[in-house]
Amino acid sequence: MDNAGVATTPQRVREHPVQAGDLRLSVRDHEGTEPAVVGLHGLASNARWWDLVASHLAPRRLVSIDQRGHGLSDKPDAGYDFDSVTADARSVIRALALGPVVAAGHSWGASVALWWAAADPEGVRAVVCVDGGIGDLRGFFGASWDVAEKAMRPPRLDGITASRLHGWVDASGLAGDGDVAEAVRILSGNFEEVAPGQLQPRLHVDRHMQIARELYHLDTPSLLARVTQPVLLVVAVNDQTRAVRQSAADEALSLLPRGSEAVLVDGIHDLPVQRPAEVAAAMTAFFARAGL
């Protein structure tokens, strides 16, 4: 049983590379029934971000992808625009012969999932956006890219240690009421060991900033209006942000097709790790209403 008292189903998880066009992308394939959910992680994250949600979704199949530049996947110097990363996901789906899927994304991955759905209405049956895909980065980071570029540049994290990762998990509440060691394992997928006990991010800063620029310049209202499939918005809130986040969700829903809905979850941005049972419950109810 998990901390919320909801039973999870043991799943076999197979991590392996898939040839996606010119790239080899690593996937974590949680076995189960179809239509499969394809999990897309956020910027500077990795495919493990969906592990806990997959356990609660079982027996539904969930295939999470280390997107290009991240995790164990190939790391080209270019191709971090939405067309390219969407093509990557579609290539993975073809290689695995999955057929039509549910595209689920967290943070940046939510925008990728929406872009994919708009470009491939036959291949994507529905979309799940977990704390992403809505909002206005220009209003948050600055009115010009010159200003936003400085605010969106990640800090230098070379030479960090496993004990520091553990400290981050403790300080951020990433584990929620769950297993801190498991949250550390998930977070560690963002890093690689470069010397004994010394870690560095797998995503190079130049590639990070290519994605940040794409996100900053994304016309989110236009993208939402192009999506024809039902969309579930799972939005992280707290007492201070609830009203403004509800308003943002309502605005997004006004642009989305019938059958779309929003669920607010008390927690931090990284809901798939902190609140996996709540995320999975919202997805399961949405799938039932959508006939998936």
Average pLDDT along the chain: 94
pLDDT at 19: 96
Pairing of β 124-130 and β 33-40: unpaired
Q: Where are the beta strands (DSSP E) in the chain?
A: 13-20, 23-30, 33-40, 60-65, 101-106, 124-130, 191-195, 198-201, 231-237, 261-266
For residue 160, give the DSSP letter.
B
Question: pTM for this one?
Answer: 0.95
Order of all β-strands in the sheet with 231-237 = 13-20, 23-30, 60-65, 33-40, 101-106, 124-130, 231-237, 261-266
Which run of H or of E encompasses 185?
helix 180-188
d(CA 284, CA 286): 5
Residue range 18-58, pLDDT digits in tens: 999 999 999 999 999 999 999 999 999 999 999 999 999 99
Least Cα distance to 33 among 209, 287, 252 occurs for: 287
Residue range 155-182, pLDDT digits in tens: 989 889 999 999 999 999 999 988 999 9
Instruction: Assign 281 to helix, strand or coil.
Output: helix
Examine the pLDDT at 7 and tell me if it is beyond 60: no
Examine the pLDDT at 1 and tell me if it is beyond 70: no
The larger pLDDT score, comparing residue 89 to residue 158, is at 89
The two structure tokens encoding residue 247? 């308003």
pLDDT at 287: 98
d(CA 145, CA 197): 36
DSSP 55-105: HHHTTEEEEEE--TTSTTS---SS--SHHHHHHHHHHHHHHHT--SEEEEE
For residue 215, give the DSSP letter.
H
202-to-157, 166, 192 alpha-carbon distances in Å: 10, 18, 6
Confidence of residue 2 (pLDDT cuts 50, 70, 90): very low
pLDDT at 98: 96
Give percent above pLDDT 90 in the chain. Answer: 90
Ramachandran class of 104: left when φ > 0, alpha when ψ lies in -120 to 50, beta otherwise: beta
The larger pLDDT score, comparing residue 138 to residue 7, is at 138
Residue range 186-221, pLDDT digits in tens: 999 999 999 998 999 999 999 999 999 999 999 999
Instruction: Assign 207 to helix, strand or coil.
Output: helix
